[in-house]
Amino acid sequence: MDAAIITTYRCPMRCKMCNIWNNPTKVSEEFRPELLEKLPKLHDVNITGGEPFVRDDIEDIVKILLKKADRVVFASSGYFNDRIVKLFEKYKNYPQLGIRISTEGLSCKNDELRGRQGGFDKGLSTLLELRRMGIKDVGFGITVSNHNSPDMLQLYELNRNLKMQFATAAFHNSFYFHKYDNVITNKDEVVANFDELCQRLMKENSPKSWFRAFFNMGLINYVQGGRRILPCEAGNENFFLDPYGNILPCNGMEEDKWFDTMGNLNEQSFEEIWNGEKAKKVREGVAHCPKNCWMIGTVSPVMHKYIKHVIPWVMKNKLAVIKGGRVDTEHIPFFHVGNNDTQGLGLNNPNQLCECEKDKSE
């Protein structure tokens, strides 16, 4: 099982596409690190915020999560570079610990969109220092909006040349971001840039990059308004812990569509919450969720679970690229793998082809 630990809603950045910074938690409201002892054994853990390094006790949090999880990766603005370097210095013999610095483009674009001068330089210098120290699992993460999809390709090249990881997302609306007006209006440009990213990823030698091409093909579908390629199983294969101790299925819910929590870890054990009636009700909500988020936290678990559907797409498109062709991002698949038929309904991407019949015959 995967988890995202939202350590705080405090954040020093002033991003245009996210209002978390405008709705901070009070330090006294945030869970104490000891609460994490209640979590079960986990596979992938994402430590996020707000800005996780704003917390004075971040090291206590990491110490517990490293015992619980196979892999622990920070999502950070990189603003507190000294604190980041200090922590990684201490844990440099833990290859399972990594970091993605959220960056919205090259220097000018990043600082404009994240509302802080010098943010890009801080992020880049942090990553370079971590690389110098020998930390392997480091890289940038970009959230694509109307304003920065060309920069995504430049940032990708920078990462590739520095041999770093590169995570992508497209902006979403949700309770978590306190944003409800994020809309991609220049769809053609954004789709073309994601398509180009898919082509470049598929040309790489690393299978990890080929699967990233699949994820980015899913982002094209999201931008075009299609149903999720793979079902959303939030709250089944993963969970989010918020700073107040609530266990949530995801960070994509919107109050006017639906919002629910499974329970609070301050009041119950994880097992009581996970197997309880409220969790059942939340999973019903997920099964009927009208949204079609495509964010790595809820996509990664289903890419692993339904890998037998993902691999043929990856192989077919890799083969096409080897033969001098292109990754097909025009015909987007929809894998009907036991999804509730009402999940994500109401949206329609004319380029999306249902793989239902193929699935039924297997």
Contact residues for ligand SF4, defined by CB under 6 A: 232, 234, 249-250, 252-253, 286, 289, 291-293, 298
The nearer residue to ligand SF4, 49 or 301, going by C-beta atoms, is 301
What's the min distance (Å) between Cβ of 51 and ligand SF4? 22
Rounded distance between C-alpha atoms, residue 173 and residue 94, angstroms: 35
* Region class of 238: left (phi > 0), else alpha (psi between -120 and 50), else beta: beta
Nearer to ligand SF4, 35 or 347 (CB): 347
Closest distance between ligand SF4 and the C-beta of residue 15, in Å? 20
Q: Which is nearer to ligand SF4, 61 or 295 (CB)?
A: 295
Q: Would you say 134 or 290 has its CB closer to ligand SF4?
A: 290
Which CB atom, from 78 or from 297, has the smaller least distance to ligand SF4?
Answer: 297
Least Å from the CB of residue 286 to ligand SF4: 4
Q: Are 140 and 103 in contact (CB under 8 A)?
A: yes
| Residue 343 to residue 282: CA distance in whole angstroms | 14
179-185 long-range contacts (CB < 8 A, ≥24 apart) are 179/17, 179/18, 179/19, 180/254, 180/256, 182/17, 182/145, 184/145, 184/146, 184/223, 185/146
| Chain centroid to CA 321 | 27
Give least dist CB 261 to ligand SF4, A: 12
Rank residues 91 and 274 by Cβ distance to ligand SF4 and give the closer one. 274
Which residue number places its CB atom closest to ligand SF4?
Answer: 252
Q: Which of 91, 119, 116, 108 is nearest to 154 (CA)?
A: 108
Query: In terms of Cα–Cα distance, which of 228, 263, 224 is closest to 247?
Result: 263
The token duo for 277 is 């009636």
Specify the residue for token string 């210098």: 125
By DSSP bridging, strand 263-264 and strand 246-248 are: antiparallel
Q: How far is the CB of 352 from ligand SF4 (least distance, A)?
A: 16
- Whichever of 12 and 285 has its CB closer to ligand SF4, that residue is 285
CB of 197 or CB of 282, closer to ligand SF4: 282
Measure the CA–CA gap between 85 and 96, rounded to whole angstroms: 16
Closer of 117 and 342 to ligand SF4 (Cβ):
342
* Cα 49–Cα 54–Cα 55 angle in degrees, nearest 5: 90
Minimum distance from residue 200 beta carbon to ligand SF4 (Å): 27
> Min. distance of Cβ 339 from ligand SF4 in angstroms?
11
Minimum separation from the CB atom of position 357 to ligand SF4 (A): 24
What is the Cα–Cα distance from 8 to 27, expressed in whole angstroms?
A: 8
Residue 292 CA to residue 62 CA, distance in Å, equals 31
| DSSP SS3 for 47 | strand
Per-residue HEC secondary structure of 69-108 comes to EEEEEEEECCCCHHHHHHHHHHCCCCCCEEEEEECCCCHH
For residue 234, the minimal CB distance to ligand SF4 (Å) is: 4
